[in-house]
Structure 1
Amino acid sequence: MSHPEVHGVVILARNGDRSECYQDPITYQPSSTESTPLGEVQSHLLGSYLRSLYFSSDSSSHIRDISNELVNLQEVHVRVKVGGEGSSVFDSATAVLQGLFPPNEKNRITLANETTIMSPLGGYQYVPVETVEPNNDRSLESWTDCPAFQEHVKKVQSSSKFREAEQNAAPFFKDIKDYVFGRPTTMANALFDYLSSQLVHNKTFAHRLPPTFIEQARGWADFRENMVFSDEHMSGIGNIASRTALNSMLSALQRIAFNGDPLQFMLIESTYQPFISLFHQTEMIKGHPELQAIPDFGSALAIELRRSPPDSREFLRFKFRNGTEEDFRTVHVFGHHEDIALTEFIYRLENSVINSNSHWARTCGVSTGPELADAGNKFFDAIMGMGMIFVLMLFAWLGSFVIKRYRRSNYVRLQGEEARLESISYGTRGEKAMTENKL
């Protein structure tokens, strides 16, 4: 059944190109990265593409009744992962928003003195973002600091399937040693990220790397990450990346479906891990096995909330775009070959979604979530801070009292008329009263 009207969209976007990112093979703690001009261009292209699709009145996928010239901040919500990889994801989100909402000369105001002021840079549109840090919100980086996930990774690496792949990959990892400068050449340390980064940014390296090496590295990295970020069971620990991200997605879809809520567009800027888990958790891979891989930089998954009047029910259509060189193509979830009802989608997933930090802590086998520990530390710090202030005030009062006593005991008593000092006080009606203060 066709549902022509798009009433809202949730976008899961991957960051653009950045510097090499090393991840620990067990804990998956990542190194810090920096975005590159190439990555910013990729993300900007994604933003421009999304604008042409959902904010242009000429598009068949135009979001119904959304503001298409100046951004309406009540209609748009942006969440950005700012975890271990540093600022590269945040920079990518900024570039996407610059493409989505480019400078517009209508972004101006008229002051009381009738002076017209335009926003800088030709009407630049400033869109606030919600940064999601793993120290206080695990929804966009749930796989780090998670003991249960680390055990899952160890089981993957000790499985017969993984061991067989290691044997098959051994010749390649032997041949690649001369090109990775001492880095461990094993399946546990997939080298694709390093090779890819060098191939793009290091001209000398690009000229030396033999043909097919990057394709082989990509294939083994896809194999590894697909095993690590998936699970046989929908609510398994291998799907933790999407199980936490889905909380934001489902909440946004429910808000969009509610006519009294102005939200119509949500952007979630993240890294590659939630994509792989989501493809497995929603069974997209059954109809689209090519999705069992790391998505390219600048990739995006769109979840469109659609209706078909007079039917008031909401349906979802899923579209995926791998990288920035292709258009969205429709993908299907849970064995459907058409749009799926929002109610069915929520029903199938709701028991597997991790919806709070405490739920994440229980799932990972952590006695207290980091957010609780942080909150406790902040409370303790606050109490200690107030205590220190009280102690300082007490010492200051005692000090002033001692100084006054000392001054009185050592005061030089003046003789004659100078011994008669005059002090001024004010009565209840403001009359000035003169009193004598005799020493």
Structure 2
Amino acid sequence: MSSSNVLGVVLIARHGDRQGFYQDPITYDASNTAITPLGELQEQQLGQYVGSVYLNSSSPSYFGLSTVFDSDTFSAQADFADEGFVIIDSANALLQGLFPPNATANTIALANGSSVTGPFQGYQYVPVDSIGINDVSLEGFTDCNTQNTRTSAFYNSTAFQQKANESAAFLSQLPPFLDGRPVTLVNMWNIYDFMNVQSIHNATFAKNLPPTFLAQARDLANWHEWNVFSDSTLGGIGNIAGTAMLPSVLSAMQDIANSSNPLKFSYTAISYKPFLSLFNMTGVNADGQVPPAIVNYAAALALEVRQPSGGGEPFIRFQFKNGTDDDVFKTYNMQLPSMSSPGDVPLSTFLSTFEPVAINTTLEWCLTCNQTTLRGCGALLNASSAAASAPAPTHHDRISPVGAGFLGAGLTFAVYSMLLAALVLLGLLNFGKRGSRTASRHGLNSEDNSINHDKRPSS
């Protein structure tokens, strides 16, 4: 590779180890769960490693940032709509490793001559934007009716039925290890996740599980999830987890490449699903470099914005570390539709490829996902429809000052009359005989975004 300098990085990382949870095989609505001390350590160590690559002045990938947090040069966001607090907690743990306590930077002198250092030897409090359920950018795949329809069609496909037949013998051996959970290929992700969590945290389970069973279950779960969260076309609905996330990624890249913008490091904490879509869309799995598989806990993708040492157009380099399976980032070649050969991608090519398929607004997501009520779609669609049906402005003769006076008086009287009528109707104003006023209490007819935490079959 020719010599180049890192201008900045867009870091995307999966959460760390957590307790078990359940997600619906069609809608992917998820139950609550919690991060474990192991997961916190995985993320903190990932943060330390990332810091050694990009915030260490002796590293060839260093681009000028120090380990003292600066809100102008660094941004962080985390998915807060999936897996409870796990992803937020993971982000905070990673940031502890990336920006460790700094007593020098967090010590002040007081008027009385004494000095004070912040808690925990100068712990650095790095703000993280929590992306909730009504923001579709990191959770584009939930409540998406078009995606749900596609997933159901996949479960009814010939390929799925063939895979179910091929795996039937293996699946028939699993009930003793699954504590009453449904043993079907449709439920394969939940089967694997339960087995994986138990293998990490339950010594008896790990001892009794036959040696090949976890790997076999993961292989089926990989196949299952890859087919749900990828697509044969770049903007296909199967890539919705990636296309919904693209705007923040593309915006960060452009900010980093812009020398007048201070941003140099953008970090996003997510679940495993967008990784599958992004890998598919960037083509890193095309020649088997990156397997079509669920990424490990604390996996990290670094999209480096680089510039040739001699100057010229910035380009994007794909670096990936699959959790603790990899000690360091590995470089993978991207293969976009417009490229004749795989490799790094010029920033302009990256933008022109992905901007047309990015889901830029919630309204656009509502239309793409055929969602008419949830996540604010009802109000957005109504407003869009009203704007579209509004009559075009027409030419009117200017009104005279006298006419304007009469018009103003008339409008005032009309508004006053409507207000009086409304007060009478609501019982807040009475004429003549005094009537009793009653008030009824109604719950707000608002969107219920709560998650059913008891979806898992009783064991």
* Secondary structure of the corresponding residue to residue 188 of structure 1: coil
Question: Residues 284 and 290 of structure 2 are in contact (CA less than 8 Å); yes or no, is this contact kept in structure 1?
Answer: no
Query: 1:13-92 alignment to 2 at 5 Å?
Result: 13-63=13-63, 65-66=64-65, 68-92=66-90
- Give the whole-Å Cα distance in 1 for the aligned partners of 2:241 and 2:89: 21
**Do the aligned partners of 2:80 and 2:87 also contact (CA within 8 Å) in 1?**
yes
After superposition, residues 20-419 of structure 1 pair within 5 angstroms as 20-63=20-63, 65-66=64-65, 68-106=66-104, 107-135=106-134, 137-190=135-188, 191-288=191-288, 290-326=290-326, 327-334=328-335, 336-367=341-372, 370-373=375-378
* Matched residue type, 1:331: Y
Q: Quick one: which amino acid aligns to residue 352 of structure 2?
A: Y
Q: What's 2:414 paired with? A: none
CA shift, 1:62, in A, is 0.8
Deviations 1:69-111 (A, max 9, x none): 3111111100100113100111100110000000011122223
- Matched residues in 2 for 1:289 and 1:356: separation? 33
Deviates most, 108-117 or 195-204: 108-117
Distance 2:103 2:142 in 1: 44
Residue identity matched to 1:365? N
Question: Quick check: 1:5–1:61 contact (8 Å CA) kept in 2?
Answer: yes
Secondary structure at the aligned position of 2:8 is classed as strand
Give the aligned length.
383
> Structure 2: which amino acid aligns with 1:146?
C
Shift of residue 115, structure 1, vs aligned partner: 3.3
Instruction: State the shift of 1:396 in Å.
Output: 12
What secondary structure, in the 3-state scheme, does the structure 2 residue paired with 1:103 have? coil
Residue 368 of structure 1, CA deviation: 5.0
Once the two structures are TM-superposed, the CA of residue 310 in structure 1 deviates from its matched residue by 3.2
The 3-state SS of whatever aligns with 1:122 is helix
Q: Which amino acid is the alignment partner of residue 353 of structure 2?
A: R
Q: Secondary structure at the match of 2:50?
A: helix
Distance in 1, matches of 2:107 and 2:186, equals: 54
The 3-state SS of whatever aligns with 2:285 is helix
Code of the aligned partner of 2:251: S
What is the 5 A alignment of 1:422-437? none
Q: 1:168 to 1:396 in 2, by over 3 A?
A: closer
State the SS of the aligned residue for 1:291: coil
For 2:394, the equivalent position in structure 1 comes to none
The 3 A distance-change label for structure 1 pair 373 and 113 is: farther
- 8 A contact 1:279–1:291 mirrored in 2: no
Is 163-172 or 111-120 further displaced after alignment?
Answer: 111-120
* Cα distance in 2, alignment partners of residues 134 and 42 from structure 1: 26
Q: Note the alpha carbon deviations across 1:242-266, whole angstroms, 9 max, x for none.
A: 1011111101001111111110001
Partner deviation per Cα, 1:358-409 (whole Å, 9 max, x = no partner): 1111110113562355899xxxxxxxxxx9xxx9xx99999xxxxxxxxxxx
In structure 2, what is the Cα distance between the partners aligned to 1:227 and 1:296? 18
Q: Name whichever of 307-316 and 164-173 sits farther off.
A: 307-316
Question: Aligned partners of 2:293, 2:377: CA distance in 1, in Å?
Answer: 35
The 1:115–1:375 alpha-carbon spacing in structure 2 relative to 1, beyond 3 Å, is: farther
Instruction: Point out where structure 1 has 5 or more consecutive residues left out of the alignment.
Output: 377-386, 399-439
1:379 alignment counterpart = none
Aligned CA RMSD, in angstroms, stands at: 2.4
Contact 1:287 1:332 in 2 (8 A): no
Note the C-alpha offset of 1:339.
2.0
Distance 1:319 1:213 in 2: 31
Query: Quick check: 2:243–2:359 contact (8 Å CA) kept in 1?
Result: yes
- Partners of 2:183 and 2:262 lie apart in 1 by 51
Is this contact kept in 1: 2:143–2:374, CA < 8 A?
Answer: no
TM-score by length of 1: 0.83
Q: Kindly tell me: are residues 290 and 282 of structure 1, through their superposed partners in 2, closer, same or farther at Cα, counting changes over 3 Å?
A: closer
Partners of 2:255 and 2:163 lie apart in 1 by: 44
